A and B are shown apart, each in its own frame.
Chain A
Amino acid sequence: MATTPQRASGTPAIEIHDLHKSFGTVQALDGLDLTVTPGQVAGFLGPNGAGKSTTIRVLLGLLRSDSGSVRLLGGDPWSDAVALHRRLAYVPGDVSLWPNLSGGEAIDYLTRLRGPVDKRRKAALLERFELDPTKKASTYSKGNRQKVALVAAFMHDVDLLVLDEPTSGLDPLMEAVFMERVREAKDRGTSVLLSSHILSEVEKVCDTVTIIRAGRSVESGTLDELRHLTRSTVNAVVGGDPAGLVVLPGVHDVETAQGESGTRVKFDVDNAEMAGVLTALSTMDVHSFTAAPPSLEELFMRHYGDELAGEEAAESAARRAGETGKHARSEAGAR
């Protein structure tokens, strides 16, 4: 398996176009697009239930797509499953192991399905991930079961790593160890698909990001490209009157507060309109100025903000209605 992964650089590692998949009446994927360029770490972002795991299971040939095209390492994930699986490794979000096998046995078993076990590599990975291999899988915590799958996945150099929320059970220290492994794999030329709903995780290692919601890709590009489309948050303290900022094009949510050293002003600005804002600010006797690029958290909230706000309103209304009913019941019970 120590072949040069770079050789596949012509074709994309993953290429999904207009993918549909439904389970009965539930439409899990509804026209999803996703491309992973060879050698890149691609983030796959979306809230719970958006269809990330379904997409990954289609990629692994576990689920058959209803329509759309899916290419994995230049092959068909359904009909070429075995050949393609020689070149990839997968870590599920919720790892389930055989209760009567120890962690070390499970690692050896999964590794041997792919090739010989390099004992030194195994020992090194076990040490890095601080995993006791003699414990029975039934006594492992969620994080430890995940470590077993991670160690098994990193035992061979593969062309593609498919990681489905791989750090959901890991503590921050182990998450750092994991990120380091991903970077190492990337340096060797491995392509990585990393699904997550934790934005900071994706931000740390990913070259590109695809955001999906309700089975559909809503945004995709490099981090820079995505940020370009969005706003920055500006914090400034000015001596002059900031009222003029409000009317500028591309400026949103202006907040002002009178401080000792001047007027503290905070607002969001579309990056495309930044020049106008700077010109205006320069006339206002600026004491301090910071402009921060948006975190993915903010990107995410902006994408879903409107919908989320709507949903939350509906939910809390429903909750209120439910609580009223519950009170009525418990009062009746008290009587």
Chain B
Amino acid sequence: MTTTLERTAPAAPSAPAARAGSTLTGTWSLVRFILRRDRVRLTVWTLSLVAFYAYFTAALGLMSETEGALQARAAIMETPSGIVMGGPGYGVDDYTVGAAIANEGTVWVVLALALMSILHVVRHTRAEEESSRSELVRANPVGRHAPAVAAVITLVAVNAVVAVVSALAMTGVGGAEEMPLADSLGMTVGVGLSAMVFGAIALVFCQLVEHARGATGRSVAVFGLAFTIEVAGNLREVPGGSALSWFSPIAWAQQTRAFVDLRWWPMALSVVAVAVLLWFASFLASRRDFGGGMIASRPGRADATESLRGPVALAWLQQKGALRWTAAGLGAMWMASGTLIPDIGEMIGDLIADNPAMSAIFGGDTSEFEAAFLGVMMLYGALCCAGYAIVMGLRPKAEETTARAELVLSTPVSRRRWFGAQLLVAGAGTVVLLAVSVVALWLGTYIVDVTDPGLGTYAEVFVSYVPAVLVYLGLTAALFAWVPRATAAGWALLAYTFVIGMFGGLIEDMPEAANWIAPFYWVPEAFVADFDPGSFVGLSAVAAALFVLAFVGFRRRDVVTS
């Protein structure tokens, strides 16, 4: 860390006098520093995304060789669950490989890149300030806005590299005839700009709140909102989406209509949004103190409440804020999704009336579509809960590296009690979140007078998912106990579960065993398949084994601080 700064700092005194007072002094040094520090992280992100584009192109190319296979896929993409999992349905009448990639892939690449952008911005601005590392940097000839501007410049650079390389990869794999470079670029650039909007939103939150974790959480919540708006908007009008879709930055990438009828101007919306958000962030940044937020922290209590006794109480105090906000956000999102059910019945009716062949493929009963739609919603809900489980499962690691664990473990608190308290609260929070998601989905359907499936079915779905989401917590805990440096593998499994669940069907000769390590593969399809006691017991046993492994491992190893 110091080497870069030492090497570049002496350059400042010789800089022109006008630059010496600038709030941007030192930006380029910081840009180099960020690239040096994150070279592995950014490379992994870039390669994974390029691989995703290339793999998707290759898999769909293979599928297109079978007569009518893509067109059958297009029929699925017109159904409500297809729209929720994919996009607004441009090109479904003549579903080419390119059209399929743009329609089905855009939202997920935006999700991945938006997450990368949010984490990148928070990591290099608010997290640095919070850890007071930034203080060390700012004491050098470095301007007030330099760290934020450096974070944005590197973000633009990474997104640009991802966009260009991905476009070349898609055209390279798919062939210039099937996948023209202009359309490939239209898709990847649109996606990159849409993701940048979320990066810029993160920068605004970094000015408003004091803690990195809070900024990340709020930014991800905005993505959730944008996703809900996109889905609701696209469901209202097929294909192409409705006016509501346009309120979501995700739609600005989808509306370029790449590979169907390319248009560039929707990207301008992203560019304008990014510009406005960056201006707003700099406006806020000039009006706050270093290390402070716009929302001032209040003085606390001189004495702890009676209830703050023991590690469980403290873990609850640490996690309850996150649980409350996540539950509120996800609850609202799933309830809104539940209210869409009647629209779905209507849509299917229209679809069958327009195209009698559809009823031959899917049967005439619309309730099956409703069940499939609810099943997909439930899968998303469970994935979110698994993500929450991993985040909370990583809390003990933060406690350990900051030496707060050391402080507690030097009192008469055993390792098992300390670790158990963290996991108990994290596990209970995860189960509560899952329950809230299920109840919210049910409540949404209940509000619009849909009574089938009934609450009993929802309860079954809830129970079947409980052990599966706890497997993620158990895995994170076991990794923390045995190989603390590899805790990111929990996220890797979640990403894998997601990709397998969404796109695994594309690979025709994929070995069945590739599904086995995805915990959700073992959960019966919600609202479609019946409750399976065998899978419940099996997943519970895996989760329990992981927790036992975690406790055994943590009792044996050194407690280290960074």
From DSSP, what is the main secondary structure of chain B's interface residues? loop
Point out the residues of chain B lying under 8 angstroms from A101, CB to CB.
300, 304, 317
B297 and A109 form a contact (CB under 8 A)? no
B302 is an interface residue with CB less than 8 A from chain A: yes
Nearest neighbor of A60 in chain B, beta-carbon distance: B410
Residues of A within 8 A of B11 (CB): 330, 333
Does A2 reach chain B (CB closer than 8 Å)? no
Q: Which residues of B contact A109 (CB under 8 A)?
A: 304, 308, 314
Question: In the docked arrangement, what's the CA distance between A330 and B558, Å?
Answer: 46
Minimum distance in angstroms from A330 CB to a CB of chain B: 7
**Residue in contact with A149 in the complex, picked from B321, B407, B556, B559, CB distance below 8 Å:** B407
Q: Which residue in B301, B310, B406, B414 is a CB contact (below 8 Å) of A105?
A: B301
Restricting to B286-309, which residues have a CB under 8 Å from any CB of A? 297, 299-304, 308-309
| A104 CB contact (under 8 Å) in B302, B317, B321 | B302
* Contact flag A105-B10 (CB < 8 Å), given A63-B558, A96-B407, A110-B411: no
Specify which chain B residues have a CB less than 8 angstroms from the CB of A96 in the assembled complex. 402-404, 407
- Say yes or no: is A98 at the interface (Cβ < 8 Å to chain B): yes
Q: Which residues of B contact A113 (CB under 8 A)?
A: 310, 408, 411-413
Task: Return chain B residues, CB-CB under 8 Å to A302.
Answer: none
Q: A328: shortest Cβ distance to chain B, in Å?
A: 13
Q: What are 14 A-to-B residue pairs whose CB atoms are below 8 Å? A: A57-B406, A60-B410, A61-B409, A64-B558, A85-B411, A90-B410, A96-B403, A96-B407, A102-B302, A108-B308, A112-B304, A112-B309, A112-B310, A139-B297
- Would you list which residues of chain A between 68 and 83 have a CB under 8 Å from chain B? 81-83
User: Does A303 reach chain B (CB closer than 8 Å)?
Assistant: no
A12 within 8 Å of B (CB atoms): no
* B297, B310, B402, B411: most-surrounded residue (chain A CB, <10 A): B411
Among the 9-residue stretches A35-43, A129-137, A253-261, A308-316, the one with 4 or more Cβ atoms under 8 Å from chain B is A129-137
Whether A85 contacts B410 by the Cβ 8 Å rule is yes
Fill in one digit per residue for A52-65: 1 if any B CB lies within 8 Å of its CB, else 0: 00000100111110
CB-CB under 8 A from A90, the residues of chain B are 407, 410
Q: A51 vs B80: C-alpha distance in the bound complex, in angstroms?
A: 64
B406 touches A102 (CB 8 A): no
Q: Is A86 an interface residue, CB under 8 A from the partner? A: yes
B318 in the interface, Cβ–Cβ < 8 Å? Answer: yes
- Within the complex, what minimum Cβ distance (angstroms) separates B298 from chain A? 8
CB within 8 A of B7: which of A62, A102, A326?
A326
Chain B residues in the interface with A (C-beta under 8 A): 7, 10-11, 14, 210-211, 297, 299-304, 308-310, 314, 317-318, 321, 402-404, 406-415, 556-560
Given contacts A88-B410, A89-B410, 14 further A-B contacts (CB under 8 A): A57-B559, A83-B412, A85-B411, A90-B407, A109-B314, A112-B309, A119-B303, A133-B302, A135-B300, A136-B300, A326-B10, A330-B11, A333-B11, A334-B14
Interface: A293 (CB within 8 A) = no
Q: Which 5 A-B pairs have the closest CB atoms?
A: A102-B300, A108-B304, A90-B410, A113-B411, A105-B304
Instruction: Please give the distance in Å from B385's CB to the nearest CB on chain A.
Output: 24
Given known contacts A109-B314, A112-B309, is B407 in contact with A82 (CB within 8 Å)? Answer: no
A295 contacts B by Cβ under 8 Å? no
Interface pair B308/A112, CB less than 8 Å apart? yes
In the bound complex, CA of A261 to CA of B306 (Å): 74
Within 8 Å by CB of B301, from A62, A104, A138, lies A104
A94 contacts B by Cβ under 8 Å: yes
Q: Is the CB of A114 within 8 A of B302?
A: no
B402→A138 contact, CB < 8 A: no
Q: Does A47 contact B (CB under 8 A)?
A: no
A163 CA to B304 CA, complexed, in Å: 25
Cβ of A198 within 8 Å of any chain B Cβ, yes or no, is no
CB of A222 closer than 8 Å to a CB of B: no
Shortest B296–chain A CB gap in Å is 10
Residue A95 is within 8 A (CB to CB) of chain B in the complex:
yes
A190 to chain B minimum Cβ distance, whole angstroms, is 16
The answer to whether A97 has its CB under 8 Å from any CB of chain B is yes
Q: Is A99 an interface residue when CB atoms closer than 8 A count as contact?
A: yes
Give A245-263 as 1s and 0s: 1 = Cβ < 8 Å from B's Cβ atoms: 0000000000000000000
Taken together as a complex, chains A and B put the C-alpha atoms of A53 and B140 apart, in Å, by 31
